[in-house]
Amino acid sequence: MSKLDDRGLQYVAKYFKALAEPMRLKVLNELRDGEKNVSQLKELSGSTQANVSKHLSLLSDYGLVKRESRGNCVYYSIADPSVYDICELVCGQISNRLILEADIKKLFSNAGQSST
């Protein structure tokens, strides 16, 4: 990343922006086990067809999902499986942070109990 110019950094920022929406992460997660159409993703996500379609369009624009038309149905699948590596890395970091915060909270709550 250190060798990217401003244009490259803007593209990276937009890539992360694509991942910064819970519904898009939910859609990506639903596609983890294989392709699905908008109706299936709508049912699995509990969202509206318009909302799911909007998020799929953005994910497609950034090359995270690909679309394939079959008859009158469009199926979506993961175009870039490395997105799951990024998500797992971030989830691991968040998990570590939450564990550390819980440990610190426990230390302070135990300290308060021993002084009484």
Query: Model confidence over 26-49: pLDDT tens digits?
Result: 999 999 999 999 999 999 999 999
Query: pLDDT band for position 111 (50/70/90)?
Result: confident
- The C-alpha atoms of residue 90 and residue 101 are separated, in whole angstroms, by 16
Token pair, residue 9, equals: 């950094």
Q: Are residue 39 and residue 91 in the same domain, yes or no? A: no
Q: Are residue 71 and residue 97 in the same domain, yes or no? A: no
- The C-alpha atoms of residue 96 and residue 102 are separated, in whole angstroms, by 10
Q: Are residue 46 and residue 72 in the same domain, yes or no? A: yes
- The reported pLDDT for the residue numbered 72 is 92
Q: Which of 3-12, 16-25, 80-89, 102-111 has the lowest mean pLDDT?
A: 102-111
Q: Are residue 51 and residue 95 in the same domain, yes or no? A: no
Residue range 86-100: mean pLDDT, rounded: 92
Q: Are residue 94 and residue 62 in the same domain, yes or no? A: no
Query: pLDDT band for position 108 (50/70/90)?
Result: confident
Give the count of domains, the chain: 2
List, for residues 77-88, the tens digit of each pLDDT value.
999 999 999 999
Q: Are residue 90 and residue 47 in the same domain, yes or no? A: no
Q: Are residue 66 and residue 11 in the same domain, yes or no? A: yes
Q: Are residue 73 and residue 17 in the same domain, yes or no? A: yes
Query: pLDDT band for position 114 (50/70/90)?
Result: low
Q: Are residue 14 and residue 65 in the same domain, yes or no? A: yes
Q: Are residue 3 and residue 58 in the same domain, yes or no? A: yes
- The C-alpha atoms of residue 65 and residue 36 are separated, in whole angstroms, by 11
Is the model's pLDDT at 116 over the cut of 60?
no
- The C-alpha atoms of residue 50 and residue 38 are separated, in whole angstroms, by 9
* CATH number for position 63: 1.10.10.10
* Strands 36-37, 73-78: pairing kind: antiparallel
Q: Are residue 76 and residue 95 in the same domain, yes or no? A: no
- The reported pLDDT for the residue numbered 2 is 83
Q: Are residue 74 and residue 18 in the same domain, yes or no? A: yes
Quote the Cα angle for 110-98-90, to 5°. Answer: 165
Name the residue range of residue 88's domain. 81-116
